[in-house]
Amino acid sequence: MSAVKRKARRRSSTPRIGRHIVLMAVLFVLASYALRGAEGKKPAPPAVLDAEALSKELAQIVEGQPGTYGIYLKVLETGEGLEINDVEFPAASCYKLPLALMIYEDAARGRRKLDSKIALQRGDWEAGTGVLQAAKAGTQFAIRHLVRLSVVDSDNIAANMLLRTVGKAALADYYKKCGARVAFSADNLSSPKDMGLFAERLVKFAQEQRDLGRELLSCFLESKSKDRLALGLPDDVELANKIGTLPGVVNDVGVVIGDNMTYVLAVMSKEVGATENGQRTIKLASLAVYRHLSQRAISGGLTATAIGKQILESMDY
């Protein structure tokens, strides 16, 4: 081989080596970034729900009971959930959850003042639960106070005053905006999943709105109606809930807050006969869900402070 050819080969191989070095450097940088991303990424929380097993257990609870039941569950830390018979049920007073939430969200956006007052009208009167039955027409109440009465005492008159003020059409639009499958109407129907969506939205609102969100959440925590879901929970577990009751209808939707787990549970029913039948069935369903999730959370190593618990600690609740 001539000297000229050897020299030419050496010259041609030099750029090739340089390209290899540059490529290796690029790959090294990319690998470094990938490693940093992997180190900074939080590991996914462990699964705490065996949906098939729990669904079977819940189905056994409602089988043989009079009436029809629907159940919705979602664990907020992991996103796991299940649905059983997610059909339309009479919402009864459960609609007071989205009503209150809509009003407080409007207030957070500056569209409504919670201290503005509403005068009681004769058309607002309704029998049933509450403390305003003896109030006289023309008496004025602040919106904030009416929301609290409608949630804590499930006051029907307070809810009627609020609904008259915001408008049924506006509440129907709010249902759609939140992704509810069943729109609010004069029939006041809903589904377990829709009510569960509102309960989850309540938690998110409390996370994002430190003052108004926690104020509203406290109303549901202090609800006096703790005769269904609450009966299946230990005393040290908090429940923010709203019940609904009509003849043959027994409902409860709530946010269950433990030390390392927060979940939404909605149980709705119809044609159950005596109210006690529904109360007992919802209690058993609540107990089954809590036992299942808490046992699997412990065995699975779910040890981080629960979303709901973090909110409660910030409230000094």
Half-sphere exposure of 29 (CA within 13 A, CB side): 5
40 occurs within a structural domain: no
CATH number of the domain to which 153 belongs = 3.40.710.10
> Residue 3's pLDDT is what?
47
Question: Does one domain contain both 13 and 55?
Answer: no
Question: Does one domain contain both 17 and 88?
Answer: no
19-71 pLDDT, tens digit per residue, is 555 455 545 545 554 545 545 555 566 788 999 999 999 999 999 899 999 99
User: By residue range, what is the domain housing residue 15?
Assistant: 1-35
Return the bridge partners of 74, or none.
Answer: 81, 264
Instruction: Please name which of 43, 69, 75 lies closest in space to residue 257, comparing C-alpha atoms.
Output: 75
> Residue 300's pLDDT is what?
64
Question: Does one domain contain both 94 and 188?
Answer: yes
Question: Does one domain contain both 154 and 290?
Answer: yes
Q: Which residue's structure tokens are 């490693």?
A: 35
Which pTM was predicted? 0.85
173-218 pLDDT, tens digit per residue, is 999 999 999 999 999 999 999 999 999 999 999 999 989 999 999 9
Q: What is the total count of domains within the chain?
A: 2
DSSP H stretches of helix in 41-167? 51-62, 96-108, 143-152, 156-166
For residue 213, give both structure tokens: 């969100």
255, 195 in Cβ contact below 8 A?
no
115-157 pLDDT, tens digit per residue, is 999 999 999 999 888 889 999 999 999 999 999 999 999 999 9
Question: Does one domain contain both 105 and 209?
Answer: yes
> Residue 128's pLDDT is what?
84
